[in-house]
Amino acid sequence: MAGRQLYELHASICQTLAHPKRLEVIDRLRAGEMSVTDLAETLEISQPNLSQHLTLMRQKGIVTTRREGLKVYYRLASPKIVKACDLMRQVLVEYLEASASLARG
């Protein structure tokens, strides 16, 4: 039973990460925490739209928050999130290179 729950949780996290803006958020936060304002400017996205993404990512345990006065700062909940994304990116690059190689013949 615990195995099935783990698969469901894994799928839920992957579904959350299956959005380009959320992956970009993770990439921006790899260097450390950022305020919502700074993230929105960097990602060229409206704060309300960014807040929707961040809320979902917080609910899934991908990011955590810290409040300082009126500002809210976000950071990755674990450095392993970056490692997982980097590993997946490497797999995708290898796939694209192999596909291009096959296309060239």
For the segment 76-96, what is each residue's pLDDT rounded down to a tens digit?
Answer: 999 999 999 999 999 999 999
Q: CA distances (Å), 73 to each of 34, 53, 63, 96, in order? A: 5, 14, 10, 36
Let me know how many helices (H) and strands (E) the chain has, helices first.
Answer: 5, 3
| 73 backbone dihedrals φ, ψ, rounded to 5° | -110, 140
User: Within 10 Å of residue 39's Cβ, how many Cβ atoms?
Assistant: 23
Q: What is the pLDDT along the chain (105 residues), one digit of tens a residue?
A: 578 999 999 999 999 999 999 999 999 999 999 999 999 999 999 999 999 999 999 999 999 999 999 999 999 999 999 999 999 999 999 999 888 887 886
Task: Write the single-letter amino acid at 24.
Answer: E
Identify the structural domains of the chain with CATH numbers, from first to last: 2-77 (1.10.10.10)
